[in-house]
Chains A and B, each alone.
Chain A
Amino acid sequence: MGWIQDLVDPKTRRWEEFYRNRWQHDNAVRSTHGVNCTGGCSWMVYVKDGIITWEMQATDYPLLEDSVPPYEPRGCQRGISASWYVYSPIRVKYPYMRGPLMDLWRAARAEHENPVDAWGSIVEDETKRARFQKARGKGGFRRTDWDEVLEVISASLLYTARKWGPDRVFGFSPIPAMSYLSYAAGSRFLQLFGGVNMSFYDWYADLPNAFPEIWGDQTDVCESADWYKSKYIVAMGSNLNMTRTPDVHFISEARHEGTKFTVIAPDFNQVAKYADWWIPVTAGQDTALWMAVNHVILKEFHADRQVPYFIEYLKKYSDSTHLVRLEPDGDTYGAGRYLRANLIDRYRDVENGDWKLLMWDAKSGPKMPKGSVGFRWGEELGKWNLTLEDGLDDTPIDPELTFLETHDAVLQVGFHEFASGKSARRGVPVRYVETSEGRVPVATVYDLLMAQFGVGRGLAGDYAKSFDDADAPYTPAWQEQFTGIGRETVLRLAREFADNAEVTNGKSMIIIGASINHWYNNNLAYRAPITSLILCGCCGVNGGGMNHYVGQEKLTLVSPWTSLAFALDWQRPPRQQQSPTWHYVQSDQWRYDSEFTDYDAVPPDAKWAKGHAMDLAAKAVRMGWMPFYPQFDRNPLELVEEAKAAGAEGKDAVAAHVVDRLKEGEIGLSVDDPDAEENWPRIWLIWRGNAILSSAKGHEFFLRHYLGTHDSIIAEEAAAGKVKTVVWREPAPRGKMDLVVDINFRMDTSALYSDIVLPTATWYEKNDLNTTDLHSFVHPLSQAVPPVWESKSDWDIFKALAKKVSELAPETFPEPVTDLVARPLMHDTPDELSQMEVEDWREGDCEPVPGKTFPHLFLVERDYSQIYDKFRSFGPNVRADGITGNGVHIPIEKFYDELLENPVGGTPDPRRLRCVEWGGNRYPALEDALDAANLLLRLAPETNGEVAYEAFKAEEERIGLPLADLAEGNRSVRMTFADLKAQPRRTLVSPCWTGIVNDGRPYAAWCINVERLVPWRTLSGRQHLYVDHPYYIDFGEHLPTFKPKLDPRATGDIGLSSTDGPALVLNYITPHGKWHIHSTYYDNLRMLTLSRGIEPCWINDKDAASIGIEDNDWVEVYNDNGVMVTRAAVSARVQPGTCMVYHSPERTISIPKSQVRGGRRGGGHNSLTRTRINPVLLAGGQAQFTYGFNYWGPIGVFTRDTYAVVRKLEKLEW
């Protein structure tokens, strides 16, 4: 080594140990972050001297197919900053209670022997209640200990159950997939108690309503490796580099393999930089652009020339061949319901004939194909599949896609176009069918689609003359006025997209996200591009399809998890609340809302599409479409006692008693009078999320009506006299919540505004499970060090709370009680066949029949002294009932019995399972999070190959086609928590999902449907280009259509706010940001340092100059809902007329006082938003339009439709 001495001798380099010492460490433990980012990245957490020092990505993912790049490394700038939190100054180390409440509590405890009475003495006294409510959010925290906080919380829970009913206790925690057990601990506790879990995916406006509409599925998308399989990718409303940071490399890698990448986005953003082509659409007008793309595809790839692959695909996998009745409407016709099979003689007596549809067989006329929902819930098994065969006698069907050449007549059909408000008449080829209701004209969905898009094919009527016909809706020329994008661009996009799909058999893909889904008409914005995909045969193909990524919604181990999380092993049903309607109602935002037709376009002469959304929300509840808790203006425990006292025995009799009293008007539904104190929510438990700010559309209304503390609202109430069925009370209640508890590891905004803050373990201090849509592995969160200071894992916190409640319970509830639980008509159950028509019992259309025209009413026994024991053991009901995920039922009797063979006691083990015994019985143990993790892994088909095999076997019976061969090769696979810690494991093919992942094939949605002919969970069993729910027809959304962006002058955001002086009114957009995941990491010093120390308001350079704002100036951003104060980031990359504040800053960090709202501290991004609901999305009662938790219902929209005033801050005040 002589040459080294020429440079530097090692002897003179002994100082080098200085840096070597830093690198040395004692341990590296695998974990991940439970932060709803969809990353689901595997990390190694480094421990040195017992202290967590840093984290680095794990890189040992097993490879997928050889033709796909590796996943490693996964993990972004945010994830790698997580270790900052562990010992940081914002870490919640101890339990805290706000001073005024603590004083009141201690005084009450001194007076009352029973803690429950002590709690009552505080909340029943208006002065005391107001004292601590008004202090919320304004400092004064004091450290306390676990004994005290557990007692306060338990006492308040028991008091509330006794006084008002357990359905006044609410819990919010988002997105279980990011930490399965931390979520499940709280939900399991709540359900055992009788409380309510609030939904999150819809509330976050992450639920793409078009997925239930078209596919009957909450969301199913490809993993990111499948992007690489695509040869043409369009990204829209999804800033992949920003929000899919660990995945986006697949895009660049695909590009180098010859894939074209097109980005549609209003601003020149991070992903646009990655693109071959950037299309700067006007914000919120993407639908118009895709309507025109559809016009071009229908014209050039369907009408002028037929692509065999596209045609075959449509016939097999879509409803395009299904027959729709045309109803006379004045001198034209209107598209109506699907023609039902039992209306024609041949199928008159078939089972569920209302729920079976018809196609036109080229040889023999109307035929009833297999696969519709009527086959799903019939007695006869084996015909719920997509073979093109007659459901009566199995004869093959050769369906006609169009009647263009074979029609009996061409009828003029009316089509309403919302932008112009005009209706057009266009000729549609029809056949006549003899039915029990006479001879009716029918058209295929395909022909209606051609007519809707104005593609004439030589037919008479108001058809587009050419692509340049700007007056004809949906042409490339027409869309220019909305999108600002030229027709040549749209033509090229449509042709490239469809050409690519043609040569690759469907490998054209759309990646879409929050920035599209968060607009008011989100469903339409998705249906337009999905139509393009279906027309080109792209769904159910690796490298194709609609890939929506917003929340980390994919609970891969869904079936056992659902039982665990909602305590179905002990009792059912759970109480699950649709949050958007709930917050709209309970936080009184409905009171500030006018009639929704003031800002949304509906067809003329609508029957239901009018009035106030609050009335429609209440209607949806009473018809069994949507849940609402509390249920009645009475304590449900008392209602049951009363019914029993009146002689009612059993569920049906109690239900009948309650329905009778309701009809008599002696009891009421809470939703009809939400501001009466007996209908208020009382206790709010928040964990794993920032419910009061980050996700709180209408944050300031939360402060006013839930918390009863200060707010910055100047909006006026607008609903008086507009609501017809719901009670209007004056004044609106302030401070509905008796107690708000936040479980957190950081002092975020929700913690700051809560009464009690409980310290929880970070992701590096607990054991848990994590999955995501973006890859197909299952990851552990695992303990690198024990929970620091006085924190505990969420599992242990709720276990401790269960224990305390059980201890205190006997004094309040000496005997077990019976609870009455209302439940709406549910998806993936026979409820899907409940309501053919919209019939409201309140309006005399029908009788209220629980489970048919009214919510189900169930009885649930609750023994509050046993909550703890039930919490820590996996109950026997699941042995008999099996487990269910995404509509697939899995018998698990033999697997449950295997679990009972494990020993009782011992220590938690990452490899082994245990049992517990109490009350003379033995159960699988759930004592520790490790027990729960291993239980899930043992029972889930995705991690136990034998369960998968059995589940496919069960599915074969229902479907009538072979499936179990898919799982044959995996039967010996079993995964334990220890395995996951050793190396990421890929989940197995499962009937609960639709991708085929064998042999390293990337997961893509609907592959099982397309390749194995398993139906989608919709009315037709196929992909719906048409929606025949009466609400959709009434709202004019039965076909894909375009509704214009809402008029900001009509939405009421800026009525009283001053726009004088140098100020601009801008569309206020809050996309996901770069330096935080929602609000997590926002307060992290690493991220604040790499950004600007604050989340600025991004504004166009010319807009900024016009109001005298320079880069980094302090600005106020405000409207009638509230105000935030931040700094400006000035750039031409932002479209004029818009401003962006990336979701979601905390109001805890660096917020000065606002001058426009009287010197109070500025708020957060959600201070400017308000919740409204799009009532068409309330539609329920049938097929895919039945309720499912986080599956269906209005989403928490209006975030993107918000407008705000921006002006320079006059004076900086802290």
Chain B
Amino acid sequence: MNIRAQVSMVFHLDKCIGCHTCSVACKNIWTDRKGTEYMWWNNVETKPGTGYPTLWEDQDRYQGGWERDENGKLKLKLQGRARGLGNLFANPALPTLDDYYEPWTYQYDELFNAPEGDDQPTARPVSLITGKHMDIEAGPNWDDDLGGSPVYAVNDPNLEGLSDTEREQLNELERMVFFYLPRICNHCVNAACVAACPAGAIYKRGEDGIVLLNQDNCRAWRMCISGCPYKKTYYNWSTGKSEKCILCYPRLESGHAPACFHSCVGRIRYLGALLYDADEIEAAAAVPDAELVQAHRDLIKDPFDPEVIAAARANGVPEAMLEAARNSPVYKFVKTWGLALPLHAEYRTLPMLFYVPPMLPILAAQKDGVYDIAGADAIGGPPTFSTLEKARVPIRFMASLFSAGNEDVVAEVYAKLLAVRTYMRSQKVGDVDPTELETTLARGGTNPEEAEAIFRLTAMPTFDERFVLPPLGRDDAVEATVDPYTARSHAGFGTRKPPERRW
């Protein structure tokens, strides 16, 4: 066993309101500079939809992530097709500005400075790149809330396999649906960006697994951009260095949750440590699609298991990290309860951000211009919740996102989520038929104790219960270069070293 620790994440999509506060929190602090305007280390997408950059999930086009060859071996998809160095200088899978958007601002000064005229002045949009007037045709969140869009929603790559009729139904009121998918760097265990970088500028931090892109070493090959199937590294056109989500390590190191986590007003985010066995990475990433979720779960090790603890200690994982792993809300959602799933496991990067899929309203039927509940059988009695069969959730679509197509895995999650609600109603109101309760719990593969625990962590958590930050002992890291005793009295003096960059 080669146990490593990683700061990992859960996003509970049922609670996501698509507000994008997370995106702005990140932008304000990290990417509000020349060259970074179009970078959204954190973005939120409307699903079904085409996302950012446009159609990023279309790996036939972008060649991101890993693939499993005939022999069951892993290789980077990009290199598999492009034959490595031959394409170093011409990387055809790179997204272009059109796949992102041309960042813009407005001529605000017109409102102050326009001379007296015969009509009202207005602030026209201008490009932040060329400074010239422009027509805005795309943005980082262009299909926001556009469920039912004939241009965007129906072209979601996850709808592959749906018939034309099924796709069209997504535009009918009684079936239409949308939900939100917030995305940051997944800080993958088997990160394709790291593997793709010819300069070796990307690394996974030993102490917490955060994937960083060294701003001194980056040589602008941009292989990371193609290699990352999630399109979460970005090229800074001003400095000539690529940049990516840093999971706010300066905040983590000083005891703060990352900005996007802190600011999540839907309270959907959880952060905590996971332990995994690095020796199993290659095998776990190479199983057939349908087994990927389980292999990923198996890779994550029980922090209470004495063998795991011993192996971790042997690897130098500090006690504080082990303690954090034992208290990790992420461990509970991912491993104990099996409710949180990796996004696009079939990319085989073993992402360490997991999602609890959203519940959605029940279907309806439309007849002679009148809209009614579908299957109006059980009218009356206590409120009934949506069931998977009746929910507006195309199960195949969810499986495409969260279980590499394995519909059983997603169905199990929904059954459990529904069981929790039913159990809680039975406890708080008492108007649930005992037989129905028993059946629902059994179908959800859960029991009262677990249901209560799931409810508490879902609905009641405080800030400190959502974010169990491992103390990152900076003393050791600092000591590698300067005695902390000295650092204490010298820190902050002098002018800062200007970065080696062009801006």
Q: Which residues does A use to contact B, with CB under 8 Å?
A: 1-11, 13-16, 18-24, 53-57, 59, 63, 69-70, 72-77, 79-81, 83, 88-90, 96, 98-100, 135, 137-141, 231-232, 241, 245-246, 248-249, 252-260, 263, 268-270, 272-280, 480, 484-489, 491-492, 495-496, 499-500, 503-504, 710, 747, 752, 1074, 1083, 1085-1086, 1088-1094, 1101, 1110-1112, 1129-1135, 1147-1153, 1160-1161, 1212, 1214
- Quote the shortest CB–CB distance from B340 to chain A (angstroms): 15
| A1090 vs B153: C-alpha distance when bound (angstroms) | 18
Residues of chain A with a CB closer than 8 A to B449's CB: none
Are the C-beta atoms of A57 and B30 separated by less than 8 Å?
no
Residues of chain B in range 138-165 having any CB-CB distance to chain A below 8 Å: 139-142, 144-153
| A1083 vs B153: C-alpha distance when bound (angstroms) | 28
Residues of chain A with a CB closer than 8 A to B205's CB: 7-8, 13
Are the C-beta atoms of A273 and B361 separated by less than 8 Å?
yes
The answer to whether B385 has its CB under 8 Å from any CB of chain A is yes
The answer to whether B266 has its CB under 8 Å from any CB of chain A is yes
- Given contacts A4-B316, A499-B382, A1129-B146, 6 further A-B pairs with CB under 8 A are A15-B215, A23-B248, A256-B421, A1074-B145, A1112-B137, A1133-B148
Residue of B nearest to A141 (CB): B112
| A1135 vs B217: C-alpha distance when bound (angstroms) | 54
Of B151, B214, B361, B426, the residue contacting A272 (CB under 8 A) is B361
Residue of B nearest to A79 (CB): B21
The answer to whether B259 has its CB under 8 Å from any CB of chain A is yes
The answer to whether B93 has its CB under 8 Å from any CB of chain A is no
- Quote the shortest CB–CB distance from A42 to chain B (angstroms): 12
- Quote the shortest CB–CB distance from A480 to chain B (angstroms): 5
Are the C-beta atoms of A138 and B119 separated by less than 8 Å?
yes
Residues of chain A with a CB closer than 8 A to B422's CB: 258
Are the C-beta atoms of A1091 and B148 separated by less than 8 Å?
no
Are the C-beta atoms of B386 and A59 separated by less than 8 Å?
no
Residue among A141, A256, A1149 with max Cβ neighbours from chain B (10 Å): A256
- Quote the shortest CB–CB distance from A589 to chain B (angstroms): 21
The 3 residue pairs across chains A and B that have the minimum distance between CB atoms: A258-B425, A140-B116, A486-B372
Residues of chain A with a CB closer than 8 A to B17's CB: 241, 245, 248-249, 270, 274
Are the C-beta atoms of B151 and A1090 separated by less than 8 Å?
no
| A96 vs B429: C-alpha distance when bound (angstroms) | 62
Are the C-beta atoms of B371 and A486 separated by less than 8 Å?
yes
Are the C-beta atoms of B139 and A258 separated by less than 8 Å?
no
| A69 vs B114: C-alpha distance when bound (angstroms) | 52
Of A19, A81, A245, A488, the residue contacting B24 (CB under 8 A) is A81
Are the C-beta atoms of B114 and A140 separated by less than 8 Å?
yes
Binds A, one of B168-176, B293-301, B329-337, B396-404: B168-176
Are the C-beta atoms of B146 and A1131 separated by less than 8 Å?
yes
| A19 vs B251: C-alpha distance when bound (angstroms) | 10
Residues of chain B with a CB closer than 8 A to A747's CB: 108, 111-112
Residue of B nearest to A253 (CB): B459
Are the C-beta atoms of A54 and B28 separated by less than 8 Å?
yes
Residues of chain A with a CB closer than 8 A to B499's CB: 18
Residues of chain B in range 418-440 having any CB-CB distance to chain A below 8 Å: 420-431
If over half of B's interface residues share one DSSP class (helix, strand or loop), that class is named, otherwise mixed; here it is loop
Residues of chain A with a CB closer than 8 A to B320's CB: none
Residues of chain B with a CB closer than 8 A to A1212's CB: 135
| A23 vs B247: C-alpha distance when bound (angstroms) | 12
Given A19-B250, A1149-B123, A11 and B480 contact (CB-CB distance below 8 Å):
yes
Of A80, A248, A257, A485, the residue contacting B459 (CB under 8 A) is A257
| A1132 vs B153: C-alpha distance when bound (angstroms) | 10
| A442 vs B454: C-alpha distance when bound (angstroms) | 57
Residue of B nearest to A69 (CB): B460
Are the C-beta atoms of B376 and A1148 separated by less than 8 Å?
no
Are the C-beta atoms of A22 and B250 separated by less than 8 Å?
yes
Residue of A nearest to B501 (CB): A18
Of B150, B264, B361, B427, the residue contacting A1101 (CB under 8 A) is B150
How many chain B residues have a CB neighbour from A under 8 Å?
136
- Quote the shortest CB–CB distance from A1167 to chain B (angstroms): 12
The answer to whether B80 has its CB under 8 Å from any CB of chain A is no
Residue among A252, A1074, A1089, A1147 with max Cβ neighbours from chain B (10 Å): A1089
Of B19, B146, B150, B371, the residue contacting A489 (CB under 8 A) is B371
The answer to whether B216 has its CB under 8 Å from any CB of chain A is yes
Are the C-beta atoms of B203 and A8 separated by less than 8 Å?
yes
Give 27 CB contacts A-B under 8 Å: A4-B316, A7-B204, A10-B480, A23-B254, A54-B25, A56-B25, A72-B463, A100-B116, A137-B120, A231-B383, A249-B267, A258-B425, A268-B173, A272-B361, A273-B361, A276-B386, A278-B361, A492-B379, A495-B380, A496-B384, A499-B382, A499-B383, A747-B111, A1132-B173, A1149-B123, A1150-B106, A1150-B122
Given A241-B17, A273-B178, A1101-B149, A249 and B173 contact (CB-CB distance below 8 Å):
no
Residue among A1, A24, A231, A485 with max Cβ neighbours from chain B (10 Å): A1
- Quote the shortest CB–CB distance from A487 to chain B (angstroms): 8
Of B23, B142, B459, B480, the residue contacting A1092 (CB under 8 A) is B142
| A1147 vs B25: C-alpha distance when bound (angstroms) | 28
Residues of chain B with a CB closer than 8 A to A278's CB: 361, 364
Are the C-beta atoms of A1150 and B124 separated by less than 8 Å?
yes
The answer to whether B130 has its CB under 8 Å from any CB of chain A is no
Are the C-beta atoms of B361 and A77 separated by less than 8 Å?
no
| A83 vs B27: C-alpha distance when bound (angstroms) | 12
Residues of chain A with a CB closer than 8 A to B18's CB: 241, 270
Are the C-beta atoms of A258 and B429 separated by less than 8 Å?
yes
Residues of chain A with a CB closer than 8 A to B20's CB: 77, 1090
Are the C-beta atoms of A268 and B431 separated by less than 8 Å?
no
Are the C-beta atoms of A252 and B171 separated by less than 8 Å?
no
Residues of chain B with a CB closer than 8 A to A76's CB: 19, 21, 265
Residues of chain B with a CB closer than 8 A to A500's CB: 382-383, 429, 431
If over half of A's interface residues share one DSSP class (helix, strand or loop), that class is named, otherwise mixed; here it is mixed
CB-defined interface of B466-486 with A at 8 Å, one 1/0 digit per residue?
Answer: 000000000011101100000
Residue among A7, A21, A59, A139 with max Cβ neighbours from chain B (10 Å): A139
Residues of chain A with a CB closer than 8 A to B68's CB: none
Of B215, B253, B426, the residue contacting A18 (CB under 8 A) is B215
The answer to whether B414 has its CB under 8 Å from any CB of chain A is no
The answer to whether B66 has its CB under 8 Å from any CB of chain A is no
Of A55, A74, A83, A1112, the residue contacting B265 (CB under 8 A) is A74
Residues of chain A with a CB closer than 8 A to B147's CB: 268, 273, 1131-1133
Are the C-beta atoms of A488 and B250 separated by less than 8 Å?
no
| A1110 vs B29: C-alpha distance when bound (angstroms) | 37
Residues of chain B with a CB closer than 8 A to A1133's CB: 145-148, 176, 178
| A10 vs B376: C-alpha distance when bound (angstroms) | 64
Residue of A nearest to B367 (CB): A486
The answer to whether B1 has its CB under 8 Å from any CB of chain A is no
Of A56, A89, A98, A492, the residue contacting B373 (CB under 8 A) is A492
Residues of chain A with a CB closer than 8 A to B149's CB: 1101, 1111, 1130-1132
Are the C-beta atoms of B145 and A489 separated by less than 8 Å?
no
CB-defined interface of B195-238 with A at 8 Å, one 1/0 digit per residue?
Answer: 00000000111110000101111000000000000000000000
Are the C-beta atoms of A1091 and B139 separated by less than 8 Å?
yes
Residues of chain B with a CB closer than 8 A to A1131's CB: 145-149, 153
Residues of chain B with a CB closer than 8 A to A489's CB: 364, 371-373, 376
Are the C-beta atoms of B361 and A57 separated by less than 8 Å?
no
Are the C-beta atoms of A56 and B263 separated by less than 8 Å?
yes
The answer to whether B458 has its CB under 8 Å from any CB of chain A is yes
Residues of chain A with a CB closer than 8 A to B265's CB: 57, 73-76, 245-246, 249
The answer to whether B83 has its CB under 8 Å from any CB of chain A is no
| A1111 vs B145: C-alpha distance when bound (angstroms) | 13
- Quote the shortest CB–CB distance from B452 to chain A (angstroms): 10
Given A241-B19, A489-B373, A89 and B108 contact (CB-CB distance below 8 Å):
yes
Residue among A14, A88, A249, A1101 with max Cβ neighbours from chain B (10 Å): A249
| A752 vs B113: C-alpha distance when bound (angstroms) | 11
Of B120, B379, B427, B477, the residue contacting A495 (CB under 8 A) is B379
Are the C-beta atoms of A486 and B148 separated by less than 8 Å?
no
Residues of chain B with a CB closer than 8 A to A1161's CB: 119-120, 122
